């Protein structure tokens, strides 16, 4: 299958150059592929450098104005020809054999959704991403611990910093929702993927390094994005956060009292498939607390209703 590598750029030229060098050094020699670079209004010399690149090696797009992460990726995908898309941030360091486990996992799943991988912090070497889970507060966060002796694991979501997805599925879902600006658009895509019946998963044998959040003003809209995301996916966040709530409850409950909580214990060990009502109520209470703060900060008139 042909692969389209999608790389949005916004300043950080030295990181871009190092990332592309690592990409070209690690692409399997027999892989049919294209590399699409989309510049989102860089002002640091990136556009001048792009003009020096070989047009036969790279497809280069120049946005007339800054569209943000979602818009830049959507623009690039609109001209992509590959059956598979691999979204890549320009601040990654790609290592040998990073792509093969992702391709293998995508081919092995009955209904593959978004496929992610393990990302190490480029500065510290610590695990920054091994999938996404939902906390007791109903908030998506990165998994930062690796399971033992597993090749992959299903996950509610994976980060868009390095994400593989079929182009047909991307188009079916409408790509990234540009109502989100530089945050949460990747998790929203994964939630829509899961809602459509596809499986998001992490390939643990694919390991890369990431200069985390190096883009200028990367965190500027985090609270706004989180507010809109929570409004859209409140029901799903409550259900997914129930497992974290149960674990938290068990850790803070005296041992003898745990014997009176069979529903929680059975749920944690997999003998019960539905979350206990107490867990759902607990996560919902935490989410409502956050929503009250965000509504006060942003106002109800800015609410984005579920699509």
pLDDT of 263 > 90? The answer is: no
**Can you tell me the distance from the alpha carbon of 48 to that of 180, in angstroms, rounded to the nearest whole number?**
29
Instruction: Work out the percent of the chain whose per-residue pLDDT is above 90.
Output: 84
| pLDDT tens, position by position, 175-196 | 999 999 999 999 999 999 999 9
How high is the mean pLDDT of the chain?
A: 93
Model pLDDT, residue 86: 98
CATH fold of 3-220, please?
Answer: Spore Coat Polysaccharide Biosynthesis Protein SpsA; Chain A (3.90.550)
Q: Are 72 and 46 in contact (CB under 8 A)?
A: no
Instruction: Write out the two tokens for 295.
Output: 């509504």
pLDDT at 49 over 80: yes
Q: Which two tokens stand for residue 61?
A: 């797009």
| Average pLDDT value for residue range 90-95 | 97
pTM, two decimal places: 0.93
Alpha-carbon dihedral sign for residues 17, 5, 131, 135: positive
pLDDT at 220: 78
- Position 304 pLDDT exceeds 70: no
Q: Where are the domains of the chain?
A: 3-220, 223-302
Can you tell me the mean pLDDT for 32-50?
96
pLDDT at residue 194, rounded to an integer: 98
Lowest mean pLDDT among 83-92, 105-114, 153-162, 253-262: 253-262
Confidence label for 239 from pLDDT (cuts 50, 70 and 90): very high
Say which residue, 48 or 269, is predicted with more confidence. Answer: 48
Max CA separation in the chain (angstroms): 70
């Amino acid at each position: 299958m042909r692969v389209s590598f999608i790389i949005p750029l916004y300043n950080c030229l030295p990181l871009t150059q190092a990332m592309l060098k690592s990409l070209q050094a690690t692409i399997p020699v027999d892989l049919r592929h294209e590399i699409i670079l989309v510049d989102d209004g860089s002002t640091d010399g990136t556009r001048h450098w792009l003009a020096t690149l070989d047009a036969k090696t790279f497809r280069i797009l120049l946005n007339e104005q800054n569209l943000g992460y979602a818009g830049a990726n959507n623009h690039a995908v609109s001209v992509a020809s590959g059956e598979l898309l691999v979204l890549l941030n320009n601040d990654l360091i790609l290592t040998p054999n990073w792509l093969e486990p992702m391709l293998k996992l995508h081919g092995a799943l009955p209904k593959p959704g978004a496929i992610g991988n393990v990302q190490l912090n480029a500065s510290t070497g610590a695990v920054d991403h091994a999938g996404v889970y939902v906390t007791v507060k109903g908030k998506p966060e990165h998994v930062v611990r690796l399971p033992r002796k597993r090749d992959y694991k299903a996950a509610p979501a994976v980060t868009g910093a390095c994400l593989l997805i079929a182009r047909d599925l991307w188009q079916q879902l409408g790509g990234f929702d540009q109502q989100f600006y530089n945050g949460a658009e990747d998790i929203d895509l994964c939630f829509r993927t899961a809602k459509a019946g596809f499986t998001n998963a992490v390939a643990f044998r694919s390991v890369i390094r990431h200069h985390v959040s190096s883009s200028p003003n990367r965190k500027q809209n985090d609270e706004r994005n989180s507010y809109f995301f929570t409004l859209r996916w409140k029901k799903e966040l409550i259900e997914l956060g129930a497992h974290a709530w149960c674990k938290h409850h068990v850790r803070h409950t005296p041992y003898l009292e745990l014997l009176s909580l069979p529903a929680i214990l059975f749920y944690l060990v997999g003998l019960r498939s539905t979350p206990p009502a107490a867990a759902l109520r607990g996560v919902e209470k935490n989410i409502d607390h956050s929503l009250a703060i965000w509504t006060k900060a942003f106002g109800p008139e800015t609410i984005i209703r579920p699509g």
